[in-house]
Chain A
Amino acid sequence: DQQVKQNSPSLSVQEGRISILNCDYTNSMFDYFLWYKKYPAEGPTFLISISSIKDKNEDGRFTVFLNKSAKHLSLHIVPSQPGDSAVYFCAASDTDKLIFGTGTRLQVFP
């Protein structure tokens, strides 16, 4: 039973446009949510996070929105750049560990 779900395996966006990556979760007790970015042949790197007591966190071109009633979070990238092409994982903090979604591959084309 997946507690963290990313239902879109891939997303293709034109450079300069907005990229929206979605994530759903089932456990209302998660206290932090994180987004990681992963390039091929590299380890995941932390991108941005949000506490469960907030509904928005912004860092430059990246904004994460949290809708607790819907158990849904999204990552917005504006404007999208070719260097943003990667796999994005959302994760939820569960006591001493993170539970990851299956990832969404973002491709940003010129």
Chain B
Amino acid sequence: NAGVTQTPKFRVLKTGQSMTLLCAQDMNHEYMYWYRQDPGMGLRLIHYSVGEGTTAKGEVPDGYNVSRLKKQNFLLGLESAAPSQTSVYFCASSYPRLASDEQFFGPGTRLTVL
């Protein structure tokens, strides 16, 4: 099993450009999440999904959109990138109410917006 994978690993964008980050998991998890990690800020939830076809806003959703068309994939879109979106993005997945709500994380995508 590959677990949680993220594509791409690195990306540099210019202000105003758009891009999509792809997250895939092969653990048949129902729940998927997108976080961003910034220095001194910890992991902040952007959007999440509790099942195929569903999405919900997290703590910092502005400037991002998501889609969950297939159970195994969760896409994060930036329609018009801004320098404030320079960050490391992590995707995670979990099976609801399994033990301690443990989430499994991908390796991250480092995004720089110039």
Contact = CB atoms under 8 A, between A and B. Distances in A.
Contact of B96 (A34, A36, A96): A96
Given A93-B101, A97-B45, A42 B40 contact: no
Contacts of B102: 34, 46, 49
A100 B100 contact: no
A20 B33 CA distance: 29
Contacts of B99: 49
Given A41-B108, A43-B107, A97-B33, A102 B101 contact: no
Interface residues of A, number: 25
B67 to A, nearest CB: 18
Contacts, number: 58
A-side interface mostly: strand
A96 B43 contact: no
B77 interface: no
B42 A102 contact: yes
A85 B25 CA distance: 28
B64 interface: no
A9 B40 CA distance: 8
Contacts of A44: 43, 90, 105
A43 B42 contact: no
Contacts of A43: 4, 90, 92, 105-108
A89 interface: yes
Contacts of B44: 100
Contacts of A101: 42
Interface of A: 6, 9, 32, 34, 36, 41-46, 49-51, 89, 91, 93, 96-103
